[in-house]
Amino acid sequence: MDVREAVATRYSCRAFLPTPVPLATVREILEGAARAPSGGNLQPWLVHALAGERLKALKATVRARPELLPRGEGAEYDIYPRELKEPYRTRRFQVGELLYRAIGVPREDRPGRIRQYARNFEFFGAPVGLFFSIDRTMGPPQWSDLGGYIQSVMVLARAHGLHTCGQEAWTHWHRTLGEVLALPPDYMLFCGMALGYADEDAPINRWRAPREPLDAFASFQGFPG
Ligand SMILES: Cc1cc2nc3c(=O)[nH]c(=O)nc-3n(C[C@H](O)[C@H](O)[C@H](O)COP(=O)(O)O)c2cc1C
| Domains, in order of start, for the chain | 3-208 (3.40.109.10)
Q: Is the CB of 169 under 6 A from ligand 1?
A: yes
CA 120 – CA 171 distance, rounded (Å): 11
pLDDT of residue 3: 97
Q: To the nearest whole percent, how much of the chain has pLDDT over 70?
A: 100
Phi first, then psi: give them for residue 135, nearest 5 degrees: -60, 135
CA of 193 to the centre of ligand 1 (A): 9
Residue owning the nearest CA to atom 8 of ligand 1? 167
**Residue 8 and residue 115 in contact, taking contact as beta carbons nearer than 8 Å:** no
CA of 11 to the centre of ligand 1 (A): 9
What strand order describes the sheet that includes 128-135? 46-51, 128-135, 187-196, 163-167
Q: Is the CB of 207 under 6 A from ligand 1?
A: no
Q: Is the CB of 120 under 6 A from ligand 1?
A: yes
**Rounded to the nearest 10 degrees, how much is the dihedral formed by the CA atoms of 116, 117, 122, 128?**
110
**Cα 4 versus chain centre, distance:** 20
The atom number, within ligand 1, closest to the CA of 14 reads: 11
Q: Is the CB of 98 under 6 A from ligand 1?
A: no
pLDDT of residue 225: 82
Q: To the nearest whole percent, how much of the chain has pLDDT over 90?
A: 96
pLDDT of residue 77: 96
For the segment 60-72, the average pLDDT, to the nearest whole number, is 91
* Residues paired with 165 in a beta bridge: 194
pLDDT band at 152 (very low <50, low <70, confident <90, very high): very high
**Residue 80 and residue 92 in contact, taking contact as beta carbons nearer than 8 Å:** yes
CA 10 – CA 21 distance, rounded (Å): 18
pLDDT of residue 69: 87
The atom number, within ligand 1, closest to the CA of 120 reads: 9
Q: Is the CB of 155 under 6 A from ligand 1?
A: no
pLDDT of residue 187: 98
DSSP-assigned letters across all residues of 151-212: HHHHHHHHHTT-EEEEEGGGGGGHHHHHHHTT--TTEEEEEEEEEE-B-TTSGGGS------
Mode of pairing for the β-strands spanning 187-196 and 128-135: antiparallel
CA 156 – CA 3 distance, rounded (Å): 9
